Amino acid sequence: MQILKLGGSVITHKDEYFSPHTENIKRLAQEISATKKPLIIVHGAGSFGHPVAKKYNISDGLKTSEQLVGFSETHQSMTRLNQIIVDTLLEAGVPAFGISASSMLVTKNRRLVDIDMSIIKGCLKLGLVPVMYGDAVLDTEQGFAILSGDQLIVRLAIDLEAERIIFGSDVDGIYTANPKLDPNAKLIELVSLSHITAEVGGATNTDVTGGMLGKLKEAEEAVEAGAEVVFLNANAENRVKTALLGEKVMGTLLTL
């Protein structure tokens, strides 16, 4: 089983609120449809979840009852994006099935503890492709929290023994510096976990769930558990498809 992350910068227009990148979503649905392999998809929030979560300061937890509406609105905006993605996958013939993290799990101090994976396992067994997302979830310590898609992915990879995680974003992979700001930035084809902090630049769009360094730190556990981790540009045609097929692709491979 593989896990594919579709970053918020790929599936939404980040500079326009609640604006899905329909063209990318349709193309990626076709690429996924062409591979027909056991798969879990986790997508980011982009211009859907982040503005609402920020407005109500959801990630710091419940302080006032007025935030309850904002908590729900954050989840609502994410289910709206999830619905667009699942609908598009279904149209492309992928038996995608939307699953809400907030209906399935609670966090403790913003971190995942035990998760009952039986529904996700059940979906995979039937041949469904679970489509999950970073979500506004209940938290045992702070009332509620934002669960990042990346944290969720790593946990899924470990508990379900994924063979590969593919992180699709709007950059070609991990660079020596931020490629959007520094013309001398070089793509690193192979990152060893022991050299992470020295080599790696941050992502341009700092989001509420952390940039590239955050992703790497989250991914570390999955690599240790035996998953292959690939960072690639999902905006570039056929890279997701190539990676899903297990073939060599332009990007960064993360190793121990």
- Applying the rule CB under 8 A, the residues between 40 and 99 that interact with a second copy are 62, 65, 68-69, 71-73, 75-76, 79-80, 83, 86-87, 90, 93, 95-99
Q: Count the site residues for a second copy by CB under 8 A.
A: 40
If one asks whether residue 118 binds a second copy (CB under 8 A), the answer comes out as yes
Closest distance to a second copy from the beta carbon of 118 (Å): 7
Residue with tokens 């489509």: 131
Cβ 175 vs Cβ 195: under 8 Å: no
Contact region for a second copy (CB under 8 A) — 119-127, 148-156, 169-177, 243-251? 119-127
Residue 122 sits in the site that holds a second copy (CB under 8 A) = yes
Q: How far is the CB of 135 from a second copy (least distance, A)?
A: 10
208 to 227: interface string for a second copy, x by CB under 8 A: --------------------
How near is the Cβ of 104 to a second copy at its closest, in Å?
A: 5
Contacting residue, 1, 34, 119, 177, with a second copy by CB under 8 A: 119
| Interface with a second copy (CB under 8 A) | 62, 65, 68-69, 71-73, 75-76, 79-80, 83, 86-87, 90, 93, 95-106, 116, 118-119, 122-123, 126-128, 138, 140, 143-144
